Structure formats: C-alpha cells, structure tokens
Chains A and B, each alone.
Chain A
Amino acid sequence: DAGVTQSPTHLIKTRGQQVTLRCSPKSGHDTVSWYQQALGQGPQFIFQYYEEEERQRGNFPDRFSGHQFPNYSSELNVNALLLGDSALYLCASSRGQGIQPQHFGDGTRLSIL
C-alpha cells in the first residue's frame, strides 16, 4: 500500500524562478493538502484540493498556486521565488472532507539561492 509520494526530494532554484512540486496521494485518498515547514517551526497550511478544486487556502500570496488532477494527484506551483520560500514543502492526503487524519509524504526540500 503506497503512501504519499512527493517529487523531487530536493530542489535548488534562484530568486525569480518558478518551481513545480508534485504529489501522489495515498491509495484510496482523494483530498490533498500542501504545507510549508520552515526550519524549527511546525508546518503551515498553504491550501487544500478536493474534486479538483481549491477548497481552503491559508495565508499565502497568489504566487502560490496549485492543481489537482482527475487521478487525485496534485501540483504546487510557486512563481517569482524569494529567498524566504526556502523550506520543506509537505503534501498530505486524506479521504473525503470529514474527520480523517491527514497522512504526509516525506516532503520536497526547496532551497533558493
């Protein structure tokens, strides 16, 4: 039973560039959430996708956008990268919109030079 998978594992970009991160949810899950985790902090919610629509959004600028595909996989896109975007980006999946625990992937470590 495959868990949440994310790619790539690590990524190095320069300021002003654009990046796309990918996530495949756990088998049987249809809801995908994205989080940003800075060093020494807890994960911060970016947004959640269900039925290919953004259902909730955290306090992140429009430079952060996403997409969910019919097979429930998801992408996170960040435009005009800033040094402060350097972080671990975590994808979590869950089943439906009710009370269900979210299960996390191992994340993508994004470094901005």
Chain B
Amino acid sequence: DQQVKQNSPSLSVQEGRISILNCDYTNSMFDYFLWYKKYPAEGPTFLISISSIKDKNEDGRFTVFLNKSAKHLSLHIVPSQPGDSAVYFCAASANQGGKLIFGQGTELSVKP
C-alpha cells in the first residue's frame, strides 16, 4: 500500500522556467510533509517542509503548496537551474517528526 505517490518518474524543464513536482498521499493522519533532493552517490538533502496547518511555505526559489482536501502537495522551483537536476522525493509523517513515508521519487532534468 503506497501511502505517498509521485506519479511522474521524470520531468524535463528548460533553465529559467518553473519546475513543478507533484505528490499525492492517502493517509489523512499525515501532519508534516517534506521535500528532499538526492544526487547520485549522496544521501537525500532536506529542501523544505510544511506543517498541515499551513497551505504554503516558501524558501528562496522553492515553494511548497499543500492542498489537504485533495491530499496533494507540490514543489515549485523558480527559476530552475541546471544544478537543480536531481531526484526529488516527497515524504510525510503522521506523528510530528516520527517515521517518514517516502514517495518513489521524480527525476528532474534542467536543460541549459
């Protein structure tokens, strides 16, 4: 039972444009959501998070949107840069900081 799903295995975007990565979840008990970026041969790097009491959180070029009624979150990267090319994972937690449930990841390619 995949509680967190990233339905797009890959995404290709032109440098300078917006990248939108999507994530859906099924467990209404999730109250904390995170996005991680992963380069090959490295561990996941924390990017941005959002609590379920908010619907938007912004940090520089990265914005996460949460739609609780649709059980959907998205990560917007504006403007996209070639260095953003990596695999992006969304993750969710049901007990405020406990175990994280990850999606399968979306590989983002930003072309110059």
Chain A interface (Cβ within 8 Å of chain B)?
A: 4, 31, 33, 35, 40-45, 48, 55-56, 58, 90, 92, 94, 96-107
Point out the residues of chain A lying under 8 angstroms from B43, CB to CB.
4, 90, 104-107
Point out the residues of chain B lying under 8 angstroms from A106, CB to CB.
41-43
The verdict on A103 contacting B46 (CB below 8 Å), with A40-B104, A42-B89, A42-B102 known, is yes
A96 adjacent to B102 (CB under 8 Å): no
Q: What is the size, in residues, of chain B's interface with A at 8 Å between Cβ atoms?
A: 25
Cross-chain pair count, CB within 8 angstroms? 64
Chain B interface (Cβ within 8 Å of chain A)?
A: 4, 32, 34, 36, 41-46, 49, 51, 89, 91, 95-105
Point out the residues of chain B lying under 8 angstroms from A44, CB to CB.
102
CA–CA, A56 and B100, complex, Å:
11
